[in-house]
Structure 1
Amino acid sequence: MPTNDGPEQIRYGVIGTGMMGIEHIQNILALDNCVVTAVADPEPSSLLSAREAVGPDTPLATFGTARELIAANLCDALVIASPNHTHHDVLIPSIESGLHLLIEKPLCTTLDDCREIVDLVSDRPASQVIWMGLEYRYMPPLQRVMSEIAKGTVGDVKMVAIREHRFPFLVKVDNWNRFSKNTGGTLVEKCCHFFDLMIEATESRPVRVYASGAQDVNHLDEVYDGKQSDILDNAYVIVDFANGSRGLLDLCMFAEASKNEREIVVTGTAGKVEALDTESIVRIGVRTDDILSGVNVVTEEKIVDSSIKHQGLHHGASYLEHVDFAGAIRAGESAAVTVLDGLWSAAIGFAAHLSLDSGMPVMIDDLAQVAGLEFRP
C-alpha cells in the first residue's frame, strides 16, 4: 500500500524459516518500509523462531505450507528458503501466484527441475521480479574485485582461483542436508555460489568441467533411518570457459582451522586482484616492465560498506541483495540475478558430480538440459 512518508511498503512472506529463513527475516526488517506479514514451515520450532525474529508485538500469520500462505493474499513478495529438495514443488505455485520472488540457492536439486523452472519463468510477465539468491556477488570485497575487473585492472581474465576452507555442514531440521539427494550434492548446494562468481569474472560460458573429490572426514559415523550420510566434504573442480579462461575451486569442509574461510583470486594479462572475504581485504597487483622496482608491489585495502544495516551470516551480502531486490520491485525493473544465472551456476555443479562419478571430464554441451539454452553472463 502507498505511504505518505516514504516508498511503497512491501509485504513479505518467507517460506522456510530455518537458519537461512531467519537470516532473510532479519535482513527484511532492516530495510526501509518493509514488513514480514506471513511465514510458512511445517516444523513448529521453525515457526517459533520466525515469531521470535519478527517480535512478539508484530502481527504475523503462520502456515504449514507455501500454498496456504499464498492463498491468504497477505504478501507482495516471497522469499523461498525451504530445504533444497522442496524448491521445485514450492516454486511452481509461487511463480504462478504472480508474487515477486527471491529464491535461495540452489535453484533446484536436479538439472531437469532447474530447466523446468527456467522455462516456466520465461513465460511470466516482466513486471514480476523473480530474483535468484546468489548473495556472494554482494559481499563487499567481491564487489570490489568485480569492479576492478570491469575497470580493466587485470586486463583479460585468464584464471579464477577460489578456495573455501571451512567448517562442516551445520545441523538442519531432520538432518536433510546430510544426503546428496536432498541437497543436489555439495558441489551444487554449496559451490553454485563459486561457479556463479567464476562466470561473472570470466564473462564466458562454461564448456568443460573436471572434478576430483570425496567424503573423507565429515559425517562418516552418521546414519539416519538406516542410511549413511553421503555428503561430499572436499573437492577440486576445474572449469574451462568458452573464451579460453579457466577456473579452479579448492573446497575443504574440515578446515575450520583457517584464518580466511574464502580466498578469491582473479588473474589476467595485466595483473591480479584477490579478496580475503573473512577479513574483508582486497589486494591488487599490477604487472610492470620495471622488474627491479615494480614486480612485487601490491596494494592492500580493507573494504567497508557503511550502508549495510545488518551484517548477518554473510558479511552484509544478504542485506545488499535485499536492497536491490526491493529496489527492483519498487522501480518495476527486471531481476539483476535471474533463474538463468541459477541454472548455469548449478549446471557446473551437476557436471562436476558427473565427473566425480565417471572419472572423466564432462562437456557442458552434453547435458541435454542446457541444449539450445540462451547463455547470459
Structure 2
Amino acid sequence: MRYGIIGTGMMGCEHIRNIRLLPDVEITAIADPVETSLKWAEANLGDWRPARYRTAAELAESAEVDAVVIASPNNTHREVLEPLFGRDIAILCEKPLATTIPDAQWIVAQAAKSAAPFWTGMEYRYMPPVARFIDQVHGGRVGRLHMLAMREHRFPFLVKVGDWNRFSRNTGGTMVEKCCHFFDLMRLITQSEAVRVYCSGAMDVNHLDERYGGETPDIIDNSYTVVDFANGVRALLDLSMFAEGVEHQEEICATGDKARLDVIVPPGDIIFSPRVPLGAPKQVERESVAVDETAMKAGSHHGATFHQHEAFARAVRGEGPVEVTAEDGLKAVLIGAAAELSAREHRVVEIAELIGGAG
C-alpha cells in the first residue's frame, strides 16, 4: 500500500514513524511548502525515498499513491482536500476536520460522493487503555451510564511552523483544535448526540506576552465544558493547558447506576468501583493495560497513532470498516464550535443553533 503525506511537521512525522511499523506499506510521496518540514520528514523515513512536492495539488496530480494522510495546519484542510476528492485515493485527515462548520459540512458532502474511504484522525479512540475502557462501558459494566467526566491537564500548545496554532482563526479555537478529541469520545461513549453546550473558558496564563505581527494570541488555555446529550447523559470536560507537572495527563470517568469506571493515562490503568451498601468494604478493582513499547515510542499519543493506522489500513484494503467518518469529524467540530461560542458569549448554546435546526 502506497502512502502520501501532506504536511510533514510534527504530526506528519508522527504519522510517518507509525506507518513505518506497518507491514507491506511504503510512503511514496510527501508534500509541504516548507523545506525544513520536508527535511524533518526525510529524517524519519529511513531508507524510503519518496517523491517531494510543495503542494497537495502537485501530489494529487503526479504521485502514485493509494492513500493520503493530511497533517497540514487545520485551516488548510479544505484547500488541501479539494484536489484529492474525485480521485481513487483513500484519505485520513487529521483532526479537527475543519476550522469552520461550513468547511466541515463541505468535506462531509464531498466524502459522501467518493467510493474511496475517508477517515477523520481521532487518535484518542485508539489508546489501548481508553479503547478497553470504552468496551467495558458499552458492555454494561457501570450499568446504565448517566455521567461522563473527562480531564486533560497538560502542557501548553507547542511551537508550530509559522506559529499558526496561536490564533483561533487558524485553529478553530482550542475547543475545536484540542478538544474535538474529547467531544468525539463523548459521542462514542454515550452513543448519543450532543444537544446543548455550556463552556466557561479563557486564556489566563499561556501566551500572554507573545506577539506575532503585533497580535496577541487568542486561544483558550483553561475551561470547563458541560455537554447535554439526547439520551440524558451529561458530560464534562475539564481542560488545563498549564498543568504539565501532573502525574496523569488524561482521565475519563464513567458513572452509571451500578458502578463507576475510570481510566487514567499515563500509566494506562482502569479502575472499577462498584456500588456497595453504606459502610460495607469497598470492592475496587484495578487493571493495567499494556501498550506496545515500539508503538509508544513512535508517537506522543500512548500508542494510539499506530493502532489507528492499523485500522485505517484495513479499511483501505477492504478488510474492515471506516471507524471514524467525516460525519464524526463534523459532529466533533460542532460541539467544539458551540463551546467556543459559549465561552465568548457566556451562555448556553444549543447545537441546533449552529446547524439551522437541521439534523
The bucket for the TM-score relative to the shorter chain is over 0.9
- Tell me which residue corresponds to 2:325: 338
**In structure 1, distance between residues paired with 2:12 and 2:216:** 27
Give 1:101-116 correspondences, 5 Å limit.
101-116=91-106
- Residue by residue over 1:252-279, the C-alpha shift from the partner in whole angstroms, topping out at 9 and shown as x without a partner, is 1011110111111111111111111111
Give 1:1-377 correspondences, 5 Å limit.
10-55=1-46, 57-125=47-115, 128-288=116-276, 290-294=277-281, 296-306=282-292, 309=295, 311=297, 312-331=299-318, 333-368=320-355, 371-373=357-359
* Higher deviation after alignment, 70-79 or 177-186: 70-79
**In structure 1, distance between residues paired with 2:295 and 2:340:** 38
What amino acid does structure 2 have at the position aligned with 1:227? E
The answer on whether the counterparts of 2:142 and 2:255 sit within 8 Å (CA) in structure 1 is: yes
Gaps of 5+ in 2: none
**In structure 1, distance between residues paired with 2:316 and 2:324:** 13
- Residue by residue over 1:350-370, the C-alpha shift from the partner in whole angstroms, topping out at 9 and shown as x without a partner, is 00111112111000111126x
**In structure 1, distance between residues paired with 2:2 and 2:183:** 32
The answer on whether the counterparts of 1:308 and 1:320 sit within 8 Å (CA) in structure 2 is: no
**In structure 2, distance between residues paired with 1:142 and 1:104:** 19
Q: SS in structure 2 opposite 1:103?
A: strand
Cα-Cα RMSD: 1.4
**TM-aligned CA deviation for residue 309 of structure 1:** 4.0
**TM-aligned CA deviation for residue 292 of structure 1:** 3.8
- Give the TM-score, by structure 1 length: 0.92
Gaps of 5+ in 1: 1-9
The percent identity for this pair of structures is 47
Q: SS in structure 1 opposite 2:300?
A: helix
**In structure 1, distance between residues paired with 2:265 and 2:318:** 31
**In structure 2, distance between residues paired with 1:94 and 1:214:** 37
**In structure 1, distance between residues paired with 2:104 and 2:159:** 26
The answer on whether the counterparts of 1:157 and 1:201 sit within 8 Å (CA) in structure 2 is: no
- Tell me which residue corresponds to 1:4: none
**TM-aligned CA deviation for residue 58 of structure 1:** 2.4
- Give the TM-score, by structure 2 length: 0.97
**TM-aligned CA deviation for residue 332 of structure 1:** 5.3
**TM-aligned CA deviation for residue 310 of structure 1:** 5.0
- Residue by residue over 1:106-127, the C-alpha shift from the partner in whole angstroms, topping out at 9 and shown as x without a partner, is 00000111111111111222xx
**In structure 2, distance between residues paired with 1:232 and 1:307:** 33
